[in-house]
Amino acid sequence: DTEVTQTPKHLVMGMTNKKSLKCEQHMGHRAMYWYKQKAKKPPELMFVYSYEKLSINESVPSRFSPECPNSSLLNLHLHALQPEDSALYLCASSQDFSGQGIHGYTFGSGTRLTVV
C-alpha cells in the first residue's frame, strides 16, 4: 500500500458544527502532516506529527485540533469554523521526521471543505 487515504473527500459544514477529517496510511511512515490550500495558492503547513507526537503547530487557530491516535492515523477535528476556513485540506506522510527517503512526502487526495 503506497497511498495516503483521506476521508471525506468533500465536506460542507455550518459554523456551529463539529466535524473531523481523517487521514490514514499503511506505509510505516512515522511523520504525518496537515496542510491547508486555498484556491490558486500553495499549500500551507499547519501541523506536523512525528512518532505520534505533535512537533510543529504553525500558530493554527484552536478551532482546528489535530490528533494522532496511532502511527497510521491522523485526524483533524474542526469546531466553530469560519467561512474563510473553506479550503482543500491535505494530509501527507513521510518515512521519518526529516522527510527522508527517495519519495519524500506522500500526499492524500485531500478533503475539500466548505464552511457555510
Partner 1 sequence: ELKVEQNPLFLSMQEGKNYTIYCNYSTTSDRLYWYRQDPGKSLESLFVLLSNGAVKQEGRLMASLDTKARLSTLHITAAVHDLSATYFCAHGGNDMRFGAGTRLTVKP
Q: Is 87 near partner 1 (CB under 8 A)? A: no
Between 75 and 105, CB nearer to partner 1: 105
Q: Distance between CA atoms of 35 and 110, rounded to whole angstroms?
A: 9
Q: Distance between CA atoms of 18 and 13, rounded to whole angstroms?
A: 8
Selected binder of partner 1 within 18, 26, 38, 103 (CB under 8 A):
103
The contact mask relative to partner 1 for 20-39 (x = CB under 8 A, - = no) is: -----------x-x------
Residue 101's DSSP bridge partners are: none
- Evaluate whether 85 touches 44 at the Cβ level (below 8 Å): no
Nearest to 34 by CA among 113, 103, 100, 101: 113
Q: Is 56 near partner 1 (CB under 8 A)? A: yes
Q: Is 3 near partner 1 (CB under 8 A)? A: no
List of residues contacting partner 1 (CB under 8 A): 31, 33, 41-45, 48, 50, 55-56, 90, 97-99, 101-110
